[in-house]
Amino acid sequence: MTDRPLLLLDVDGPLNPYAARLPRLRGYAAHRFHPANWLARQTPGSRRHRRGLRVVLNPSHGRRLVGLPFELAWATTWMHEANEMVGPAIGLPAALPVIEWPELFARDPDGLYWKTRPLLDWAAGRPFAWVDDMITDLDSRHVTAHHDAPALLLRIHPRHGLRERDFTTLTRWAEAL
């Protein structure tokens, strides 16, 4: 299985389409979670703090992701809580590897997305696809210049989350390696 490329998963955007226009997205279910990094930014005792973060997830996504020709890993501010909260809600069967960021939301001297450099370090030269709502062309150019293996950076609109076309793109890319 180690010859498979990595699929690095962001939560907010690809799996949780937080900018969806409709309050009830078809196929999605709403959850309330209390992830530590989110709680740390809320006022203790506030209503938001008590109620938790609203997250919408598509319960079919776990099965779809597992069916892709990739090794899955989390690339999200949720870090290990993605395995505890998000994974079970979408039917991901096992604890996935987690990228542990040295610093969340760190400002990059060259304007790169804060995840990009630590993610490249973590991938350690392996082929990877990365789904995230915050990837820019700058990040794509940086990865092309500094990663010696194939990489697919797939920006996912947070209004839509992962769609059929994205699963198709990922499958075709992995099969063409």
Q: Which residues bind Mg ion (CB under 5 A)?
A: 10, 12-13, 133
Residue 8, helix vs strand vs coil = strand
Nearest distance, CB of residue 12 and Mg ion, angstroms: 4
What is the residue whose two structure tokens read 């604890």? Answer: 95
Nearest distance, CB of residue 1 and Mg ion, angstroms: 27
Nearest-5° Cα angle at 28, 140 to 56: 65
Cβ distance to Mg ion smaller for residue 13 or 17: 13
Q: What are phi and psi of 35, to 5 degrees?
A: -70, 145
Instruction: Cite the DSSP H helix spans in 124-163.
Output: 137-146
DSSP collapsed to 3 states, 90-104: HCCCCCCCECCCCCC
Nearest distance, CB of residue 74 and Mg ion, angstroms: 12
First to last CA, the chain: 14
Nearest distance, CB of residue 164 and Mg ion, angstroms: 20
What is the residue whose two structure tokens read 């990922």? Answer: 170
Residue 93, helix vs strand vs coil = coil
Q: 44: which 2 tokens? A: 């203790």
Cβ distance to Mg ion smaller for residue 138 or 149: 138
Q: Which residue is nearest to Mg ion (CB)?
A: 13
Spatial contact of 26 and 67, defined as CB atoms under 8 Å apart: no
Cβ distance to Mg ion smaller for residue 41 or 47: 41
Cβ distance to Mg ion smaller for residue 12 or 139: 12
Nearest distance, CB of residue 86 and Mg ion, angstroms: 12
Cβ distance to Mg ion smaller for residue 4 or 159: 159
